[in-house]
A and B are shown apart, each in its own frame.
Chain A
Amino acid sequence: MTVDPRLQEWLDGEISEDQLPLELRGEAAEWSALLRELEELPVPGSAPGAEARIMAAVRRSDRESPAGAAAVRSWAAWLVLPRPIRLSPIVVAATLALVAWSLVRLVAPAGPAADGDPGRVFVQFVIAAPEARSVALAGDFNDWDPSIELSDPDLDGVWSARVALDPGVHEYMFVIDGSEWRPDPNSLSYSDDGFGQRNSVLAVSPLEGT
């Protein structure tokens, strides 16, 4: 298909429609309609009129928003938008070590069963209480909370528990069936608790070499 040279000149804007011969004006009208449809087709990748709306919004926000809001948006964008971060290996190693240390501190709180503490010494607490249904241990090492349970696996009435304690002098008592506080009959020393009872006293020596 070839286009009439005069029609081509009109399409190129070199002549006006009035300068076209009458027989070409119908074809020119068809071309005009086609060009209008083409202009209204959406640009690939964006909504119809999106560019105009975005630019209008940008201009409006620049006019209307205060400096604080702009700063907040800037911070938000800085926090949200992905970006490459460059770190030296030593910084990465130190950060990982710090995180690991924090997790260890979080997961392993100080307590009488902190078996990993090299300064602590395991002490075996034993009491004969054949009538007891439960025996617990409380002392200054656990703020007198009777939470350390003794066990009697062979049901011979002798209850025991192995507890890791800091070296030093400790006062303690056994709690029978959750209510009866009883000093250790095997203790070498006792101390008046000020409330009318006697606490057992235990001296834990540090392990050699610690």
Chain B
Amino acid sequence: MRGSRRLVLAAIAVFLLPGAAPVGAQDRAVCVSESLGPQVRTALLRHVQRARDAGIPPRLVCRKINEGVSKRVPGRRLVTGTAGFVDALIVAREAAGPRASPEVLASAVDAVERGVPPQRVRAFLQANPNPRRSVVGLRVLAEFTEAGIPADAAARAVNAGLDRGMRGERLLAFSAAVRRRIRQGEAPPAALRAELEGRNPVEGRRRRN
């Protein structure tokens, strides 16, 4: 009798602990609001399920849907935007591998959407397994590719910047400076070389404590 009472007390204590509750709640989160209308809702749920079937955390798709809902994107556009995102997500997942973190996956999606071939994404991640390099590195690789720099040259330039210690906003500033030079008419190789040689890299305008 005494043992069972202790068991009951322990169960009550575990039940009262608030720490474990949020995780379960997140996993069960229903991100597709009923206010969206039945057709839109059904279509969005299908894309959430498509991501889940591919082994992708549904919360990544939910976040994209929430973004569209917050921006008051019309229903049809919300569905097509979400569908495109899930398509890119599945390709990015294939390229990045099943162990890729959500942050790496998000950058890989951006790269795929901007035209970086999946095999280039995979190669870049294999060369840069540390997320501190790869998360921003993939973004810049995508920007260079979108700016018309051949994929091999773009990857080498990003790796060169990373090897020079460029991280975070500094790497984004490097990318912005290269693209500005290209827009102003410089040939991509010349623009890359000029910025890698450190000619007045653009500093971020944000202040940070």
Binding site for B on A (CB under 8 A): 78, 98, 101-102, 105-106, 109-110, 121-126, 138, 140, 143-146, 162, 167-169, 173, 179, 181, 186, 188-189, 191-197, 201-206
Contacts and interface: CB of A to CB of B under 8 A. Distances in A.
- Considering the complex of A and B, which 5 residue pairs feature the smallest CB-CB distances, nearest first? A205-B168, A194-B81, A203-B168, A188-B172, A144-B70
B167 A186 contact: no
Nearest to B113: A192
Interface of B: 5, 13, 16-19, 22, 63-64, 66-73, 77-78, 81-82, 84-85, 103, 106-107, 110, 113-114, 132, 135-136, 139, 143, 167-169, 171-173, 175-176, 202, 204-209
Nearest to B29: A143
A16 B205 CA distance: 119
A204 B110 contact: no
Residue of B84, B176, B206 contacting most chain A CB atoms (<10 Å):
B206
Q: Is the interface of B mostly helix, strand, loop or mixed?
A: helix
B172 A122 contact: no
Contacts, number: 110
Nearest to A74: B1
A195 B77 contact: yes
B135 A196 contact: no
Contact of A124 (B114, B132, B207): B207
A131 to B, nearest CB: 20
Nearest to A160: B207
Given A102-B17, A146-B70, A202 B106 contact: no
Q: Is the interface of A mostly helix, strand, loop or mixed?
A: mixed
B208 A121 contact: yes
Nearest to A95: B13
A204 B143 CA distance: 18
Contacts of A197: 71
A90 B67 CA distance: 49
A193 B206 contact: no
Given A188-B202, A203-B169, A195 B176 contact: no
